[in-house]
Structure 1
Amino acid sequence: MESRITELEIKISYAEDMIDELNHTIFRQQQQIEMLISQMRTLREQMQTSQPNEALSLRDELPPHY
Structure 2
Amino acid sequence: MHRTAKERARSLKDFLDELGSEEPVPAGGSAAAAAVAMAAGLVEKVARLSTPQMIGAAAIRKRAASVRM
TM-score range relative to shorter protein: 0.3 to 0.5
TM-score, normalization: structure 2? 0.39
Kindly indicate which of the two structures has a greater share of residues assigned to helix: 1
Q: Greater RCO between the two (CA within 8 Å, min separation 6)?
A: 2
TM-score, normalization: structure 1? 0.40
Q: Larger Cα Rg: Structure 1 or Structure 2?
A: 1
